[in-house]
C-alpha cells in the first residue's frame, strides 16, 4: 500500500528534502570550512531537486517555471561558492602559519 | 500615473548600470562623481514615487515587465510602505555616497568599493519593489554577496573572517527562504505576492514555509539569538558600509518577515508565534543593550546597539495579535514600526559615520583611550550625541516619537509588560551613550596631548554625519508630517487619517 503511493514525484521530493537536511546538518556540525561550503551546496541541490520535481503537477505538460528558477539558483550558488572560496584563500594568505578553521 | 509606474524599473536599473560603469572606468574620482550624480537622480526619482503614491487613490503602483501581466509576467509593485523604504534608501545612499567619496579618496579601496556599493543598492531597491517571491530571493543574494564583499574590502584578517561568517549565515538564510519558495510554489503554483496572499491557507506546507522563512530571515535580520555574526561584521566594516548594513540591509529582511507573517501567510500564522517573535525581540533589546554597555570598541558598541534596536522592531508582532484589519499593513502598531525604521536608519547611520570619523582622527576606536576626544572632533561627538539621544528616545527626536507610539500601542492593546522592556532598553541605551560621551568630555590626561597622534579629516565627513543626525531631529520636531505620510501610506485602504491626537486620545 505504502509502496504503491510512492510515485517518482514524491520520491524525488523526499530525497530533495533529505539532501537539504543532510546539508544543514553538515553545515552545523562539521568544523572544516571547505566542508561547510560543500554542505551549503548540498542544501542548494536538495532545493533544486524539490523544485524540478514540482514541475510535474496534475497532468499538465512540464511546468517551465521551476526550471528557470533552478537555472537562476545554480548561477547564484556558483557566485556564492566562488566568493566563499576566495575569502577562505585570502584568509589563509594573510596568516600562512595558521590553518583556517 | 502610468508615467511614474514606467519609471519604477529605473530604481533598479540605474544602480546596476552605474555599477557596471564603475567596473569599467577604474578611476576612483570619476566613479565618485558619477555615483553622487546618480544618487541625486535616484533620490529625486524615489521622492517622486513617494509623492505620487501619496496622492494616488489606489495606493499601489504596478509595472509589468515587457507588458506581460499576471499570471505569466513578473511585476514590480510599490505600495506606500515600500515607497517610503525606497525613498529612505535613496536618501541615505545620497548622503553616504558623498561621505564615501571623501572617506575612500586617498585609498585604492575606492575602485573596489563603488561597483559593490551600487550592486548593494540595486539589490535593496529590487527587494522593496519586487512582487515576486523568487525575485526577492535573487535580491537577497545580490544584497548578501555585495554586502560580504563590501566588508571584505577592509582586507584585514579579522574583517575577512567576519565577512566569511556573514556569507555562510547569509547563504543559509537565503536557502531556507528558497526552500520555502519551493514549498509555496508546489502548493499554490504562483510566485506573485498578491496572488499568493489571496490563496494561502493554513495547510501543513504553508506552516512549514512560514517557519523556514522566519528562521532564514531572522538569521539575516540578526534577531537574538541569531545575531552572533552581526557585531563582528558591522563593527569590522568601513564606516559607510557599516552605516548602510545597519540602517538598511537588516530592515529589508525584517520587512519581508512582517509581510509574510501579517499579510501573505497570515492564515498560517498563529498568535503564539507572534508572541514568541515579540519575546525574542524583548530579549534582543535587553541583551543587545547590555552587550553594548560592556563593549570595549566604539564600533562594536554601535553594532550591538543595532541588535537591540532590531529587537524593538519585533515588538510589532505581539502588538498585532487580534488585529482585525484585513490588510496587515494597517493598524497603529505598523505606524509605530514604520517610524522606528526611519528613526533608527537615520540615527544609526549618523552614529556609524561619527564613529568612523573618530576612528580616522584617533587612529583606533578603543573606548577607554578616547578620553578628551571632544577637543579634536567636536562635530563628530556632537553628532554622536544627537544620534544617541534618538536611540535612547529623548525628545525631540524621531526615536522619541517611535518609542512613544510603541508604548501607547502596548498600553492600548493591554500588553503592559512590553512597556517595562521598552523603558529598560531606553535606560540601557542612555547608559552606553553617556558612558562614551562622558569619556569624550573628560579632560584628557596625556592621551591626546601630542598633536601628531591626531589626524586631520576633511570637514565634509563630519558634516555628512551631522546632516543625518539633524534629519532625526527634524523628523522628531515634525512628527505630524511623517505620521501623515505614513498614515495615508500605511492606512491607504481604510481612508482613515492617523494622527498624534487620535492616538493620544485612545491612550487616555
Query: What tens digit of pLDDT does each residue of B50-107 get?
Result: 888 777 655 677 888 877 777 677 888 888 788 888 999 999 999 999 999 999 887 7
Q: Which residues of A touch B168 (CB under 8 A)?
A: 27, 36-37, 40, 84
* Separation CA A40–CA B490 (nearest Å): 38
A38 touching chain B per CB within 8 A: no
Q: What is the pLDDT of residue B140?
A: 94
Q: Do A76 and B141 touch (CB under 8 A)?
A: yes
Q: Does B250 touch chain A (CB under 8 A)?
A: no
Name the average pLDDT for chain A: 86
Is the Cβ–Cβ distance between B182 and A63 less than 8 Å?
A: no
- Å from A97 to nearest chain B CA? 13
Report helix, strand or coil for B30. helix
Q: Which of A36, A73, A90 is facing B168, going by the closest CB pair?
A: A36
Contact at CB, A87 and B167, closer than 8 angstroms: yes
In angstroms, the separation between the Cα of residue A63 and the nearest Cα of chain B is: 10
> Distance (Å) from the C-alpha of residue A94 to the closest C-alpha of chain B?
6
Q: Give yes or no for A88 touching B (CB within 8 A).
A: yes
Cell of B395: 525628545
The helix (H) or strand (E) run that includes residue B127 is: helix B109-129
Say which of A46, A80, A90 has its CB closest to residue B160: A90
In the numeric block, the cell 527562504 is attached to B177
- Return the pLDDT at B411: 86
Domain definitions of chain A by residue range: 9-94
Q: Is B178 on the interface with A (CB under 8 A)?
A: yes
The whole-number pLDDT of residue A23 equals: 95
Cell 514568541 locates to: B276
User: What ipTM does the predicted assembly reach?
Assistant: 0.92
**Rounded Cα gap, residues B372 and B357, in angstroms:** 15
Query: Closest partner residue to B145 among A24, A40, A79, by Cβ?
Result: A79
Q: Chain B contact for A7, CB < 8 A?
A: no
Chain B hits for A54, Cβ within 8 Å: 182, 185-186
Name residues whose C-beta falls within 8 Å of residue A27's C-beta, 6 or more positions apart in sequence.
Answer: A36, A39, A40, A43, B168, B172
Q: How close, in Å, is residue A1 to chain B by CA atoms? A: 23
Round the CA-based radius of gyration of chain B to a whole number and report it: 22
Reported pTM: 0.90
Distance from C-alpha of B320 to C-alpha of B329, rounded to nearest angstrom: 10
Give B190-193's long-range contacts (Cβ < 8 A, gap of 24+).
B190/B71, B191/A65, B191/B132, B191/B133, B191/B134, B191/B135, B192/B70, B192/B71, B192/B75, B192/B131, B192/B132, B192/B133, B193/B77, B193/B130, B193/B131, B193/B132, B193/B133, B193/B259, B193/B264
Contact yes or no for A87 and B172 at CB 8 A = no
Distance CA B21, CA B192 (A): 32
CA B264 to chain CA centroid, nearest Å: 21
**Is A84 a residue whose pLDDT tops 80?**
yes
Q: What is the pLDDT of residue B79?
A: 80
Task: Give the pLDDT score at B397.
Answer: 85
Q: Is A40 on the interface with B (CB under 8 A)?
A: yes
Give DSSP secondary structure letters for B283-321. Answer: HHHHHHHHHHHH-SBHHHHHHHHHHHHHHHHHTHHHHTT
Question: What are A71's three cell numbers?
Answer: 537555472
Interface of B with A in 117-136 (CB under 8 A): 134
Q: Would you call A66 and B148 a contact, using CB atoms and an 8 Å cutoff?
A: no
What band does A3 get if pLDDT is binned at 50, 70 and 90?
low
Residue A80 has its nearest CB partner, among B141, B163, B185, at B141
Residue A46 confidence (pLDDT): 95
Instruction: Quote the CA–CA distance of A11 and B351 in Å, as a whole number.
Output: 53
Q: What topology is assigned to A9-94 in CATH?
A: Helix Hairpins (1.10.287)
Residue B176 to residue B221: CA distance in whole angstroms:
14
Please name every residue paired with B76 in a beta bridge, in sequence order, or none if there are none: B63, B130
Which are the contacts of B60, defined by CB distance < 8 A and separation ≥ 6? B53, B77, B78, B79, B492
Size of interface A-B (CB pairs under 8 A): 80
Looking at per-residue pLDDT, the higher value among B111 and A46 belongs to A46
Distance between start and end Cα atoms, chain B: 41
For position B488, what pLDDT does the model report? Answer: 43
HSE at residue B77, side-chain half, CA atoms within 13 A, is 19
What is residue B150's predicted lDDT score, i.e. its pLDDT?
Answer: 94
B189 → closest Cβ in A36, A50, A57: A57
- Residue B98 pLDDT: 94
pLDDT of residue B500: 37
- Residues of chain B short of pLDDT 50, as ranges, are 326-328, 488-508
User: pLDDT value at position B485?
Assistant: 63
Q: Which residue in B has a C-alpha nearest to residue A63's C-alpha? A: B189
Chain B residue numbers with beta carbons less than 8 Å from the beta carbon of A43 are 172, 175
Please list every residue in chain B whose beta carbon sits closer than 8 Å to the beta carbon of residue A65: 185, 191
Residue A51 to residue B182, Cβ atoms within 8 A: yes
pLDDT tens figures, A11-34 = 888 999 999 999 999 999 999 999
The DSSP 8-state label assigned to residue B226 in this structure reads: S
Q: What is the pLDDT of residue A61?
A: 75
Amino acid at each position: 500500500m505504502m509502496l504503491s503511493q510512492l510515485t517518482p514525484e514524491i520520491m524525488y521530493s523526499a530525497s530533495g528534502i533529505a539532501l537539504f537536511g543532510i546539508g544543514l546538518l553538515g553545515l552545523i556540525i562539521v568544523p572544516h570550512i571547505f566542508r561547510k561550503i560543500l554542505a551549503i551546496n548540498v542544501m542548494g541541490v536538495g532545493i533544486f531537486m524539490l523544485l524540478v520535481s514540482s514541475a510535474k503537477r496534475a497532468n499538465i505538460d512540464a511546468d517551465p517555471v521551476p526550471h528557470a528558477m533552478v537555472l537562476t539558483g545554480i548561477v547564484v550558488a556558483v557566485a556564492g561558492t566562488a566568493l566563499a572560496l576566495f575569502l577562505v584563500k585570502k584568509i589563509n594568505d594573510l596568516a600562512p602559519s595558521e590553518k583556517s578553521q | 500615473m502610468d508615467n511614474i509606474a514606467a519609471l519604477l524599473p529605473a530604481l533598479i536599473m540605474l544602480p546596476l548600470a552605474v555599477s557596471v560603469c564603475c567596473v569599467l572606468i577604474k578611476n576612483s574620482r570619476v566613479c565618485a562623481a558619477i555615483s553622487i550624480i546618480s544618487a541625486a537622480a535616484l533620490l529625486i526619482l524615489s521622492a517622486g514615487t513617494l509623492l505620487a503614491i501619496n496622492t494616488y487613490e489606489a495606493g499601489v503602483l504596478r509595472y509589468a515587465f515587457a507588458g506581460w501581466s499576471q499570471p505569466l509576467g513578473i511585476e514590480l509593485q510599490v505600495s506606500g510602505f515600500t515607497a517610503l523604504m525606497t525613498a529612505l534608501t535613496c536618501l541615505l545612499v545620497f548622503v553616504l555616497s558623498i561621505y564615501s567619496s571623501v572617506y575612500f579618496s586617498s585609498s585604492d579601496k575606492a575602485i573596489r568599493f563603488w561597483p559593490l556599493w551600487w550592486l548593494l543598492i540595486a539589490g535593496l531597491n529590487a527587494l522593496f519593489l519586487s512582487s515576486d517571491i523568487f525575485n526577492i530571493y535573487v535580491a537577497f543574494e545580490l544584497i548578501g554577496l555585495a554586502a560580504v564583499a563590501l566588508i571584505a574590502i577592509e582586507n584585514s584578517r579579522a574583517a575577512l573572517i567576519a565577512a566569511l561568517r556573514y556569507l555562510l549565515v547569509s547563504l543559509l538564510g537565503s536557502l531556507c527562504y528558497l526552500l520555502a519558495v519551493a514549498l509555496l510554489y508546489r502548493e499554490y503554483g504562483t510566485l506573485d505576492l498578491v496572488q499568493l496572499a489571496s490563496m494561502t491557507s493554513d495547510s501543513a506546507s504553508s506552516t512549514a514555509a512560514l517557519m523556514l522563512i522566519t528562521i532564514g530571515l531572522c538569521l539575516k535580520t540578526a534577531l537574538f539569538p541569531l545575531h552572533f555574526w552581526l557585531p563582528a561584521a558591522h563593527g569590522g566594516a568601513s564606516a559607510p558600509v557599516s552605516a548602510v548594513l545597519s540602517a538598511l540591509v537588516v530592515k529589508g529582511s525584517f520587512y519581508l518577515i512582517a509581510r509574510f507573517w501579517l499579510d501573505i501567510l497570515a492564515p498560517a500564522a498563529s498568535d503564539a508565534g507572534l508572541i514568541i517573535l515579540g519575546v525574542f525581540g524583548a530579549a534582543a533589546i535587553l541583551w543587545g543593550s547590555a552587550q553594548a554597555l560592556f563593549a570595549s570598541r566604539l564600533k562594536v558598541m554601535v553594532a550591538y546597539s543595532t541588535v537591540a534596536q532590531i529587537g524593538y522592531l519585533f515588538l510589532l508582532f505581539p502588538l498585532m495579535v487580534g488585529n482585525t484589519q484585513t490588510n496587515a499593513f494597517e493598524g497603529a502598531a505598523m505606524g509605530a514600526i514604520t517610524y522606528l525604521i526611519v528613526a533608527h536608519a537615520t540615527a544609526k547611520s549618523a552614529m556609524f559615520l561619527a564613529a568612523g570619523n573618530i576612528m580616522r582622527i584617533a587612529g583606533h576606536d578603543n573606548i577607554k583611550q578616547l578620553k578628551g576626544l571632544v577637543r579634536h572632533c567636536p562635530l563628530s561627538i556632537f553628532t554622536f550625541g544627537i544620534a544617541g539621544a534618538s536611540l535612547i528616545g529623548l525628545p525631540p527626536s524621531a526615536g522619541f516619537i517611535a518609542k512613544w507610539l510603541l508604548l501607547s500601542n502596548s498600553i492600548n492593546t493591554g500588553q503592559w509588560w512590553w512597556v517595562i522592556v521598552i523603558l529598560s532598553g531606553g535606560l540601557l541605551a542612555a547608559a552606553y551613550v553617556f558612558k562614551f560621551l562622558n569619556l569624550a568630555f573628560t579632560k584628557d590626561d596625556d592621551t591626546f596631548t601630542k598633536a601628531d597622534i591626531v589626524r586631520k579629516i576633511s570637514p565634509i565627513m563630519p558634516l555628512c554625519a551631522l546632516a543625518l543626525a539633524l534629519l532625526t531631529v527634524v523628523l522628531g520636531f515634525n512628527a505630524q508630517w511623517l505620521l501623515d505620510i505614513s498614515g495615508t501610506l500605511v492606512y491607504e485602504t481604510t481612508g482613515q487619517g492617523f494622527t498624534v491626537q487620535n492616538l493620544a486620545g485612545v491612550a487616555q
